[in-house]
Structures are given as structure tokens and as C-alpha cells.
Chains A and B, each alone.
Chain A
């Protein structure tokens, strides 16, 4: 059975990618199961989807814990433990990452033994998160890695999946997917089908007796206040608002009042954006009377940060590690 997990952020076409792969595998004669997994649906929040494909009936279901292929559409997710991108990977797993950085860098940084490949960018973009048709691109590359999906099958699956969006959108997505499919030619069939967990010599689950706890802790109550600040929603951001203090009129209220996330504080008439939490909605850019706030692609801004450290910590994890 092929077990594929695709990680990305809400809005990147992750569900579409899994459905394209699923449909293409199904048309190639496999029994298929595919499913997106999201909590409260939020644009920018981490999501993933799963595809299983086998020649026989698929009885497994739910999250894939032993993936043969992991596709990461957004490399910032690799730094977010809660996203679970690396769950269950081993030497058998192929990890395909959409990143500007080379595979060696990621293998070293993540200290993993899995085969890590970089998604080829067929369009030059400043930020890999802005790659057009990212879902279709991931699907195209993944299709080649599986080695069992033909070009025609891939194109047909995209046409079927995106039919409602019109022929132009279909054609654009097909072009992106095909470019990725072709670019991965050297890796044709790099992903092989994994095997099920054997029932002899299995690892005994570390079950415990759940202890009785007093209702004061055993009820779903939070006694902390405003600890949501520990959730670094700044990682959702693809565009970064930057204040030009030469243009800022020190009005003291406009940007901070309209910022939905309370992520702009004004101290002594100086507004400061909290990049740990700014989601990049760009409301402040639109409302600033003297147009003193500019939107800059996050990727470029991070490159600037490396040259010259700026507010916010680009390597912060989404939920503070405790």
C-alpha cells in the first residue's frame, strides 16, 4: 500500500492535491482512500491530507502514522511541531519539501535520515509559499515519485477535480503539475509501497490506568489568562506589514485599533507590530492615513532579517515549547 501525507496551510490547495493524487491513482487501477484533516478551518493554519492506494481493499483509515511519502507544501511547517510533518518518517520515507533551501540543509537541520527532496520550482517566485498552483505542483511531483501515474492520468485527474473552476484554471494547474512531474523524472518511482505493522513481535502499547483527578483540574477549564500569546500565529503570515517611521504621523490609534489581532501596540506614540502574532492580514496597510505601512513578502523580509536582525523571531515555533 502507498501511504502519502501532504502537509500545508489552509488555502494552499492541500485537499485538492490529495484528491488529484487519489483520483489519478484510482484511475490507474488502485483502490484509493483520501481525506483532508483540518480542525477549525482557518486560512493559513496548518492542515494535512492523506492518500492511501493499494491493489486490495483498504481497511486502514485515519491519520497515516507510517508514511511512504510526505509532501510539505510550506517549509515553515517543518519548524512547527504541532503540524506533525515528520510524524513516523523513517529511512523508507521520501520527504518532498517546497523550499528555497537545499535538501542537505534541511536534512542537517532536522537531523533526519529520510530521503529528502526539494520540490522543483518551475516558476521563479520570491516566496515559495506564493508558488502558483502549489497543490497541483505538489501533486505532479508526487505522482512522478510514485511512478505509477501516467502524464495523461495526472492531467485527467486535475481536469476532473477543478472542472468547476473553468478551462483556464484547469489548464494553468495542469501546466504547473506537468512541469513538476517532468522535473522529477530522475526520481521516477522513488517511493515504494510500505508494509503493514506485523502482528508478531509488535511493540506493546504503553497503556496506563488513568488516575482520578480532582474536578478542579479534570474539567476542561483554563486558569491562565491571555496565554494564547504563546501561540505564534506570526507563522501564518505570507505578507509582512512594515511601518515606515519616517512617514508615520504618530496618530497613536488607527493601525492598533483596526488590527484584529491586537498585534500592534503603541508605546509613547510609536506603533510597534508584534510579528510573533501578526497574521499578515494587511488591514493596517489599508487603514493607515499617511500610507506609512507597506506590505512586503514574508520571504523577502526574512532574508532581510538574516542580514540585519529585525523584530520577531523567524525560527519561533508555532506553540511555544514548554
Chain B
């Protein structure tokens, strides 16, 4: 079938439709709503068999999703941001049920302040939940990842729910050419759900999700979920190879773009990584040997693949579109932990926080991150993590603060100006 222009949201809905899902518990939230609207229209018109129910919250939505998966049907659901966090208790819970289903998250910055555009703090807040995570860079990958996710979730070696993440606006509302595989071909790749012993039925009484007392049994059950998740790396590799054979699209656990001869690589996830690809192309035009390493699979963390991708490089530029408040970039800290003491680990890893709340990252910023990293390699001195934030942006917030009448001096009577003069350098660095 020739490609057609689809938004990331429509690609996600097509993924669910091609996966022949039975059940869609839903709740609206921007920028995800279009997914359930599209599915609702197909279900209403009969173009797609199955059933949708709108719950009263994401917490209930994930409960219903997990409960239906635990009863033995194929379940799809989708949310975003505050919704994912509202459901957080149930993310951990249903993962513990070992109930396989697929949840699409359309990334959006978290409140407060409340906002609409993308960053990854929402989905990364779920990184310890037991959901596996696939991160998409373009709309085609959204569709492909939903199909791959069902294979992962339902594999007997795994049996865990899977989150597929796409960025709000940058993918959710953006149309790109997407090839829709034939339903028949998808059935060959993803046959109807065989729940095996996952069920509730009168002839097979079962108590699921039972309490334990004591740390021993608890450790056992939680760590078993961890081991199942770790199986995900090998299962993903096998499934992605099969996918590539059938559909001709390579979906490696870790995308390596022009890395073979690269001296320095960018390391990031999500749709902004295509901006990094563009920067890599332009930098190569200028004679710079750079590449991009992008985990598609973030949970389980494909540490071996990442190490292979970066081994022997002079440096890594980590761009975190997230912020662990009080620590820094999440990808940065996880990457450092996975590389520590490993042979071939690059000596210099620089950390940049960029793209919070959908803030753009310009080509020049990519180029300059490389310049800074080259300087660090030359000097042996690695700069502290940096927020991508310009003097112009600070001037803009100062204007807004003036309108909001946040009086800078007055707010700290008797304590002098509240901005510490030592840290108040509003001049360009370097």
C-alpha cells in the first residue's frame, strides 16, 4: 500500500486497528484525544470490530485495561502527561499483574506550571513501573512500535504491559508519510491474542494479584517481573528482525545513525532526535565526524547495545528532554551508570537539558554542543550540565514577570535583592 500522510495520533490509532485490539478503555486528554476519537469513529462505523468504554479517569482507565487484559482480551489504551501520572498507582499495579497490553503515551510536559507541549518527564516517571518502553522518532515508527509492542507484551518470556511513547505536537499533530501494512500481513506478524492461561472463567477459578506478607515473596515477584523485562532485549531483537523481513523497516533497539566512523555521538530519545540527525548531516557536510545513538527501547534498557554503539568514541553528547529535579538529566545519569567501568566507554560525556515543555532546539545549538564537547575532550575538563536557555529567553520571562508584577526587590524585605549576585550572570558564557 502506498504511504499516506498521517498524524502521529492517527498512526497510533492505525496501530491499534491493525493489531485487531478487542478493547479500548479511554479517557480524553490533550494531545492524545485524537487517538480515541479516531478509534471511536471506526468502532462506531463498524470499520473496526471491538469495544470502547470511556472511564471517568485515567486511574480507572488503566484499571479497566489491566483487568480486561487479565481476563484474556487484547487491550489498547492511550493517555498523556497528567493522565499518565494520575494513573501512576495503576501502572505499577497492572504491571505486577503481568497483564499484557499496550498503552500509548503522547508526551506532554508536567504541571506545574501546566503546559501543552512535549517533554519526557511524564513517560520517564513510569520508567520503574514494569511497563516496557518504546520511544518513537517519527509517525511511521509510532505505527510500527504499536505492532512491535504487542509482540513484546504478549511474549511468554515477557508478559508485561508496554508503553509506546510519541511526542505531543511534534508527532501527535504532525502529518508525515506513513506506510500502512496490509491487515493480512500484520496478522502474519501479530496473530490474534492467545491468552493461554490468562483468563477468568467458571471452569478455571483463579485469584489474581494476591497480596503477600513479607519481603521474601515480594522480592521474588517483583524481581521476576524485572527478569521478564530483561528478556525484552532479546525478544525485541528477534521480533524486530521478523518485522524487518516482513515489512522492510529496520527498527533496531538502538538506532545508530552514522556512528561507525563517528568520533562523537549525540545521545537522545524521541522526535527531537530527528533534529539531531539533521544536525549530524550538516556537521558531516562541514567535515565533522559525528553520529547519533538513539534508544528506541528504553525499558528494558539495552545496555549492551548502547555500549557497543558508543565504545571507542571520544565523547557523547547527552540531550535530556526531561529533568530529574535535584539531579539533572535522566538519560545522562542512566547512561553514565551503564557505562561506568566498561571497556571502551568514552572518556567525555557532556550533559544538556533541552526541549523542556516543547522548547525548540535549534541547529546552531546542536552544532555548539559539539563544539563544547570537542573543547572538553581537548582540555580534559568536562563542563557541568547545561540548560539550553538563551539570554533572549530570559529577557522574555523578565518581561512576563513585569506584567505579572512580580516585584523582584520588594519580595524579600530586609534580605536585600532576592537574586544572588554571584549566580545572576545573565551574560553569555564562554
A and B touch in the complex (CB under 8 A): yes
Chain B: minimal CB distance from A10 (Å): 14
B367 beta carbon closer than 8 Å to chain A: yes
A213-B113 contact, Cβ under 8 Å, with A207-B389, A222-B405? no
Residues in A with CB closer than 8 Å to B279 are 199
Residues in B with CB closer than 8 Å to A214 are 411-412, 418-419
Chain A 22-44, CB-CB to B under 8 Å as 1, else 0, gives 11001000011111110110000
- Stretch in contact with the other chain, from B17-25, B168-176, B221-229, B240-248: B168-176
B271 beta carbon closer than 8 Å to chain A: yes
Chain B: minimal CB distance from A204 (Å): 6
**CB pair B5 A322 closer than 8 Å:** no
B187 beta carbon closer than 8 Å to chain A: no
Of residues 271 to 288 in B, which have CB atoms within 8 Å of A's CB atoms? 271-272, 274-275, 277-279, 281-283, 285-286, 288
**CB pair B176 A33 closer than 8 Å:** yes
Chain A: minimal CB distance from B289 (Å): 12
A212-B419 contact, Cβ under 8 Å, with A35-B175, A223-B406, A224-B403? yes
| Chain A: CB-nearest residue to B412 | A214
B54 beta carbon closer than 8 Å to chain A: no
A211 beta carbon closer than 8 Å to chain B: yes
Residues in A with CB closer than 8 Å to B419 are 211-214
Residues in B with CB closer than 8 Å to A224 are 403-405
A62 beta carbon closer than 8 Å to chain B: yes
**CB pair B364 A205 closer than 8 Å:** yes
Chain A 197-216, CB-CB to B under 8 Å as 1, else 0, gives 11110111111111111101
Residues in B with CB closer than 8 Å to A240 are none
- Stretch in contact with the other chain, from B208-216, B325-333, B422-430: B422-430
Chain A: minimal CB distance from B350 (Å): 13
The total of chain A residues at the interface (CB under 8 A) is 48
**CB pair B403 A230 closer than 8 Å:** yes
Chain A: minimal CB distance from B286 (Å): 4
| Chain B: CB-nearest residue to A201 | B286
A7 beta carbon closer than 8 Å to chain B: no
> Per a CB cutoff under 8 Å, which of B177, B360, B364, B389 touches A26?
B177
A91 beta carbon closer than 8 Å to chain B: no
Residues in A with CB closer than 8 Å to B430 are 204
A63 beta carbon closer than 8 Å to chain B: yes
The CA of A210 and the CA of B390, in the complex, are separated in Å by: 9
> Per a CB cutoff under 8 Å, which of B362, B399, B404 touches A205?
B362
| Chain A: CB-nearest residue to B285 | A199
A253 beta carbon closer than 8 Å to chain B: no
Residues in A with CB closer than 8 Å to B288 are 199
**CB pair A208 B174 closer than 8 Å:** no
A217 beta carbon closer than 8 Å to chain B: yes
Of residues 1 to 54 in A, which have CB atoms within 8 Å of B's CB atoms? 19, 22-23, 26, 31-37, 39-40
Residues in A with CB closer than 8 Å to B7 are 35
Chain A: minimal CB distance from B93 (Å): 32
The CA of A184 and the CA of B271, in the complex, are separated in Å by: 37
The CA of A286 and the CA of B418, in the complex, are separated in Å by: 53
Chain B: minimal CB distance from A259 (Å): 25
**CB pair B281 A211 closer than 8 Å:** no
A59 beta carbon closer than 8 Å to chain B: yes
Chain A: minimal CB distance from B255 (Å): 12
| Chain B: CB-nearest residue to A19 | B175
**CB pair A62 B391 closer than 8 Å:** no
Residues in B with CB closer than 8 Å to A196 are 278, 281-282, 363
**CB pair B5 A62 closer than 8 Å:** no
Q: Can you give 14 contacting A-B residue pairs, CB < 8 Å?
A: A35-B173, A37-B173, A59-B274, A61-B271, A196-B282, A197-B362, A204-B364, A205-B388, A207-B368, A207-B391, A208-B389, A210-B394, A211-B423, A217-B418
